[in-house]
Amino acid sequence: MVAGALLFSLPVPLVVAASPDVMCEFTDTRLNEISGMAPSQVHPGVMWVHNDSGDEARLYALRLSDCAVVGELTLRDVSARDFEGLASGVDAQGRPVLWVGDIGDNVDSWSDVSIYRIREPRNLGNRSAQVQRYRFTYEDRPHNAETILADPNSQQLWIVTKQMASGSVYKLPKKLKKGEVNIAKKVGPASGLITDGAVKPDGSGFVLRDYFDAQFYAGLPTGELAEEIQLPAQAQGEAIAWLPGEDALLIASEGDNRLLRVEAPGIPVAAENQGGISGTSEGSVNSAPEIVVAERGPNYTVLVGVVVSVIVLVTGLIRIRKKPASKATGSTKNAV
């Protein structure tokens, strides 16, 4: 099954990213399984992160200069079933918000999953915040997912599912309803084992990552595949985010205390204006770091298949055997 998933023809050449820079290293023991990451729109030089399943319903504000935790934000009245996605966006009034996805579903069985909208706090430190919960399900069947994509200029959200052979991009209603289960509609394909993704702050493109590579798209989802790069080796890479004001990304991994900065390739402007991209001519390309084409021979394919199989199997067994009962903060009247 894995071999079949990986023996697909690539629409663009795979290139090797320039050597990554280590932004900083985590020393705070609370950051034990970083799974989601998104830049703060209120506090420059700060990245919001969350752990994988097993932690409480909370986010951490990470200072990029030294990886120090400068804020802990508890989500009131929320039970964290399986947090697996974080994105920066805006609410209906254009105010900065964070979208947190309780969308992990390792056995594709939940009748519905949840997204939480949180206003970014003006002050850091240990705080709590009231959230708005939106429930949704997929139009076809339950799916496991670890990726939320948010339009930086509207409330539009997309979910990218995580399947072995290939995933899919699902579009949520632009105006989410509070009192009912919203329906996410399939709008396009994605490659297999997508663990995270992010839209550029200017809305001109987005990136999806798996355990080994990152795919860059022009425009908003579903976009046009423009480039694919091989990411630095990580134990279990699950987080990626754009650095505001830079053509660069931050990546993090479970089992690795480094926050890595990776240069992003130039992304051509989409052939059609998707999501309000303006001010650039069709076909223009941003400057990019020097990169080289990487050959994906049979040995690479076999290695990737074996490694991914082991990761998926071991991760699944650990979560099944050790997953604690759901922890809640405050009242759980709104929790599933």
pLDDT tens column, 311-334: 545 455 444 444 444 444 433 334
From residue 61, alpha-carbon distances to 65, 89, 166, 198, 276 in Å are 12, 16, 33, 18, 30
Token couple for 334: 């709104």
Phi-psi region of 309 (alpha: psi -120 to 50; beta: other; left: phi over 0): alpha
Report the alpha-carbon distance of residue 10 to residue 116 in Å, rounded.
35
Q: What angle do CA 258, 261, 263 make, to 5 degrees?
A: 155
Cis peptide before 222 (omega within 30 of 0): yes
Closest CA to 46 of 251, 255, 243: 243
Q: Which CATH number fits domain 2-329: 2.120.10, 1.20.1070, 3.30.70, 3.30.1450?
A: 2.120.10
Residue 266: pLDDT band (50, 70, 90) is confident
The tens digit of pLDDT for each residue in 217-262 reads 999 999 999 999 999 988 889 999 999 889 999 999 988 899 999 9
The pLDDT value recorded for residue 186 is 98
- Collapsing DSSP to helix, strand or coil, 154 comes out as coil
Its pTM stands at 0.79
Report the alpha-carbon distance of residue 42 to residue 14 in Å, rounded.
35
